[in-house]
Structure 1
Amino acid sequence: MGSQKFAVLLCADDSDYVKKIYGGYFGVFVRMLEEEGETWDMFRVSNGQFPEDEKVGEYDGFVITGSCNDAHGNDLWICKLLNLLKKLNGMKKKVLGICFGHQILGRALGGKIGRASSGWDIGITNINLQPSKIFSSLKMPASLSIIECHRDEVWELPPKAEVMARSNKTGIEMFRYGDHFMGIQGHPEYTKDILFNLIDRLLHRDLIEESFAEEAKSKLEANEPDKEARKKLCIGFLKGRL
């Protein structure tokens, strides 16, 4: 068997901080998911850079990142990404969607997505795992804490999708569709310093209030996300071991 090949579909521009410390979001994802002997490529889909049609089949799996854009928007690149996801669904290619990626996967499958009625969820959130054979095979606990940073959510999924986790704030924190699509609303790839920096950027852009930012930061200092369990889940799913 040849070495496995994966692609990260980047849906956001790198912040200066993430670029300097981690070599961009691509570096953050590769650090979490890469194992020896694999090839990882990057496509900046939000800048219109997509894998060529005839090369899509060469990849064993794809990761779709978070984004500042709305997954319910109709920007040209978002429409193009939806078409690619429909094609990958037909090919049964493994796709792991994170945050915006989770929402766009839900949309590509015919689900409904939009603004969360409960507003922003920023910080470390406790999510409750639903009974699933995937979790039992990984010996996962009944709940996990994960870094979140979103104000949109998946409202509704097609009947064939399995909702894998919920939280007090978000009804669909994680789902899978068949054995090939999985969406995670939180950010298993983030570290606390990345979120700290992101809170400052959101504040600077007037997307959140200062009091909200301060509260989110103080809560962050008191909690730790369950990184290893999340990493195990993402790697196991993407590489067909679950």
Structure 2
Amino acid sequence: MSPPLRIAVLECDTPIGRTKEKYGGYGNLFKELLQNGAQAVREKDGTAVPELDVRKYDVVNDEIYPELEGVDAVLLSGSRHNSFDDEIWILKLVEFTKKVLAQDRVRLIGVCFGHQIIGRALEQEVGRSDRGWEVSVTPMELTEKGRELFGVQEVAIHQMHRDVVYTYPPSVEPLGHSPRCDVQGMYEKKRLITVQGHPEFNGDIVSELLDSRHEKGIFDDGTYKDGMERVRKHHDGVAVSAAFIRFMME
């Protein structure tokens, strides 16, 4: 019997409201996503995927990190925080990410804020996009490598960001782009895979975020209305998760 695939989820934020009540933390949301991705790989590819051992680390409040010897992959979650800020916990996260990148066994996965942190650790500029917020289910135009990894011609994925990685690091293969974000995903074989979107999100989670940020004045009426019109559309979160599983098994 194969040993389990040991995945450390670095929780870079805490969910709000009903999402927090249902899942507790983002680690549980990613555990569900990765299990669904593993099942998709078993069914679609006929591949024997090991059991997943998902461990969670609150890097914002506890600033506790896994020992790399005890894990096979590290996943950086999304966050409401700015990836370009110099708060102590963010700088610590960037340094830990550089530590993962400096070795050649433990794989690295980044989602939204996590994608940006990996970009920053690879010495790329991260910051506010001048194209505004990208929210709700959005089509991502894939590169040839993106189509190969995700197994679809175009990925529809939930978005919730206005910060971006401005340019692709020279060491990675680009995975795709959208009208409001040129760097939608990065890949380096046996080293890293990232997406700017949120494969772990669903319509309920994004609806709650849209409502909350509209009430607080973060989203204007137009952004809110546009996002709500697309929030229940089909999205390819499981296809993206399946790509994460295949990547960890390379």
> Normalization by structure 2: what TM-score?
0.88
Amino acid at match of 1:72: F
Letter in 2 for 1:233: A
SS in 1 for 2:230: helix
Match of 1:46 in 2: 60
The counterpart of 2:118, out of the listed 105, 112, 117, is 105
| 1:116 equivalent among 108, 129, 154 | 129
Matched to 1:180, the amino acid is: R
Distance 2:13 2:53 in 1: 22
The answer to whether the 8 Å contact 1:11/1:44 transfers is yes
Secondary structure of residue in 2 paired with 1:156: coil
Give, in angstroms, the shift of residue 137 of structure 1: 6.2
Q: What are the ranges of 5 or more consecutive residues in structure 1 without an aligned counterpart?
A: none
User: 1 CA distance for matches of 2:15 and 2:240?
Assistant: 23
Q: Superposition pairs for residues 218-233 of structure 1, below 5 Å?
A: 218-221=229-232, 223-233=233-243
Distance in 2 separating the partners of 1:198 and 1:143: 25
Residue 209, structure 1, aligned to residue 220, structure 2 = yes
Q: Deviations over 1:96-127 (max 9, x none)?
A: 10000000100001111110110000111111
Shift, 1:211, TM fit: 3.5
How far does the alpha carbon of each residue in 1:141-190 deviate from its partner, in whole angstroms, 9 at most, with x for none?
22111110101011013211211111122111011234211110000110
1:240 has 2:241 as partner: no
Q: 1:153 aligns with which of 133, 150, 164?
A: 164
Of the three residues 117, 122, 126, the one matched with 2:139 is 126
**Contact 1:166-1:173 within 8 A present in 2 as well:** yes
Within the alignment, does 1:177 sit opposite 2:191 as a pair?
no
Q: Distance in 2 between matches of 1:220 and 1:37?
A: 32
Equivalent position of 2:198 in the other structure: 187
Map of 2:29 onto structure 1: 28
Q: CA deviation at 1:215?
A: 2.5
What are the Cα deviations for residues 185-238 of structure 1, in whole angstroms up to 9, with x where unaligned? 0001101110000111212332111332122102324x211233222112222x
Aligned-pair CA distance for 1:48: 3.7
Contact 1:48/1:77 (8 A) holds in 2: no
2:9 corresponds in structure 1 to 8
User: 2:90 maps to which residue?
Assistant: 78
Separation in structure 2 between the aligned mates of residue 81 and residue 236 of structure 1, nearest angstrom: 25
Residue among 77, 81, 86 paired with 1:69: 81
* Partner Cα distance (1:8, 1:227) in 2: 17
TM-score, normalised with respect to structure 1: 0.90
- Matched residue type, 2:229: S
Take 1:218 and 1:136, find their aligned partners in 2: how far apart are those partners? Answer: 30
Counterpart-to-counterpart distance in 2, 1:2 and 1:240: 12
